Structure 1
Amino acid sequence: MSKPKALSPWLKELGANIRRKRMAQNVTQQQLAEMADLNIRNVQRIEAGESDVLLTTAVRISKALNCSLEKLIPRDMPAE
């Protein structure tokens, strides 16, 4: 499934927010993958902004990082 080009910067920012929060807690990608019941490759692709993220996946990540989803989601949604 390819992502619309308009989403690319948004997905990169989402991934960067997840990475920052994870690193601030001294959590490795492997640990986050285990805590959120994800494959490590999925975590890597999400953090790199290379993968569209299901809402359920974002919720699992936010719970694993003990933060609100609002803290991870970029504020500005790009226009299609």
Structure 2
Amino acid sequence: MMLAGNIKKSRKKLKLTQEGLARKADISYSTVIKLESGEIADPRMETLKKLANALNISIDDLVGQV
């Protein structure tokens, strides 16, 4: 659930809606919803890269690794 919380926290910090994040990361709106709800717990590396780039954070920060 750390990934889901990190996505939501980072998105809100940038004042992005879920739809705005989806557009910025070039992923589907439904994927953002599923990631934030924890329904998708193990996304593809490509999706993680797009999200991290859109949120201006590292993949390690996104997934909560130190």
Q: Do residues 65 (structure 1) and 61 (structure 2) align? A: no
Structure 1 residue runs without a partner (length 5+): 1-11
The amino acid across from 1:17 in the alignment is N
Where does 1:14-29 land on structure 2 (aligned, <5 Å)? 14-29=3-18
In the alignment, the residues of structure 1 paired with residue 52 and residue 65 of structure 2 have an alpha-carbon distance, to the nearest angstrom, of 16
In the alignment, the residues of structure 1 paired with residue 47 and residue 58 of structure 2 have an alpha-carbon distance, to the nearest angstrom, of 13
In the alignment, the residues of structure 2 paired with residue 14 and residue 69 of structure 1 have an alpha-carbon distance, to the nearest angstrom, of 10
- Identity percentage over the alignment? 32
In the alignment, the residues of structure 2 paired with residue 45 and residue 59 of structure 1 have an alpha-carbon distance, to the nearest angstrom, of 17
Residue aligning to 1:33: 22
The amino acid across from 1:69 in the alignment is I
Equivalent pairs, count: 65
> Which structure is higher in helix share?
2
Runs of 4+ in 1 over 6 A off after TM superposition: none
Q: CA deviation at 1:75?
A: 2.9
CA RMSD of aligned residues (A): 1.3
In the alignment, the residues of structure 2 paired with residue 74 and residue 68 of structure 1 have an alpha-carbon distance, to the nearest angstrom, of 10
TM-score by length of 1: 0.75
In the alignment, the residues of structure 1 paired with residue 30 and residue 44 of structure 2 have an alpha-carbon distance, to the nearest angstrom, of 15
